[in-house]
Amino acid sequence: MPHFARVRAVAALAIIGVTLGVLALAADIRAAEFDLVEAHTTTQDHPYTLGMVRFAQLVRERTQGRVAVQIHHSRQLGDERQVVEGLQLGTVHLTVTSTGPLGGFVPEMNVLDLPFLFRDASHAYKVLDGEIGRGLLDKFEAVGIKGLAFWENGFRHVTTGKTPVERPADLKGLKIRVMENRVHQAAFRQLGADATPMAWGEVFTSLQQGLLDAQENPIPIVSTFKLYEVQKYLSLTGHVYSPAPVLMSKKTWDRMPPDVQKILLDTAMEVAKIQRQLNRGQEEKQVGELRAKGMTVIEKPDRNAFREAMKPVFDQFQGQFGKDLVQRIANTK
């Protein structure tokens, strides 16, 4: 079976099983010694949820039922910033999130949002799973959060309602939703776009009502949130690789015995590989599905032109984050 066919098969089985998995995990909550409240913002069929279901199953098995994870997807407990603040308070115990709000808690995390920082996904994995990634995750402890691992959000691409985007000039004057992240805002303003930070829960309606012209996100977000209903064009710009940190409340972490801590940490890192595979499988499949639903896909926008146009922002922020750190990332093979 070809590689992508295998990936699609794994993704399909995971999606079919996710509801049963969530229900089974919920049934185990009563008997657990440690009941963990997990929350994230994406939908039930998104790779965040699929990965978290697998994480919860493995943790339950490896702790012999001592730890149960109750999964809340689709913004049930709030948007990303609210959930991360919940980690600090201890009202939420676990999350998988985009990097969007994280620079407000650990400024060094913004380095990961530099445009065209990573050559490809393999480069990103080597950085994030190595010493550099662990160093960034460890910085969360100072703000009451324990960083476990980096999962995947994916390469970010631009969607628009009326104007196909093939080169940077095509974005000039467009009102584009960006994450609450100063690097992303600066990058799109550099292109002449009206970069508008907005909580994710407001985006679909704003696109539908014409309050926004465009947005940028990985393909699984475009698909699972049905943005094809309000956007016509998908341009595969791949301007930023977006990881998905798995974070835990330090208050919760500190009350866990060392053997359980080790299981949580090791399992989060192990599931990173599974979740990334699911994410890549969905991307491959969903591009075709988006076409079938009426989106026009620009497969080869002028990425070199985007890289060159965003270079002043790269240069500006690498000075703030430390050229040594950026160089270490670039030199990772």
Q: Which residue in the block uniquely carries the two structure tokens 């012999």?
A: 64
Low-confidence ranges of the chain (pLDDT < 70): 1-30
For β-strands 233-235 and 157-160, DSSP reports them as antiparallel
Sign of the CA dihedral running 171, 172, 175, 177? positive
Residue 26 has what pLDDT?
Answer: 52
Q: Which residue in the block uniquely carries the two structure tokens 């070809």?
A: 2
Residue 320 has what pLDDT?
Answer: 87
Tell the CATH superfamily of the 157-239+288-331 domain: Bacterial extracellular solute-binding protein, family 7 (3.40.190.170)
Residue 240 has what pLDDT?
Answer: 98
Residue 3 has what pLDDT?
Answer: 44
Query: Given this chain, do its domains 3-109+122-152+243-283 and 157-239+288-331 carry the same CATH topology?
Result: yes
Tell the CATH superfamily of the 3-109+122-152+243-283 domain: Bacterial extracellular solute-binding protein, family 7 (3.40.190.170)
Distance of alpha carbon 301 from alpha carbon 193, whole angstroms: 17
Residue 322 has what pLDDT?
Answer: 83
Residue 21 has what pLDDT?
Answer: 56
pLDDT digits (tens, 9 = 90+) for 180-223: 899 999 999 999 999 999 989 999 999 999 999 999 999 999 99
Residue 152 has what pLDDT?
Answer: 98
DSSP string, 9-78: HHHHHHHHHHHHHHHHHHHHGGG-SEEEEEE-SS-TTSHHHHHHHHHHHHHHHHTTTSEEEEEE-TTTT-
Residue 20 has what pLDDT?
Answer: 52
Residue 2 has what pLDDT?
Answer: 46
Residue 12 has what pLDDT?
Answer: 53
Contact 57, 21 (CB under 8 A): yes
Residue 25 has what pLDDT?
Answer: 54
Residue ranges per structural domain of the chain? 3-109+122-152+243-283, 157-239+288-331
Predicted TM-score of the model (pTM): 0.90
Contact 212, 203 (CB under 8 A): yes
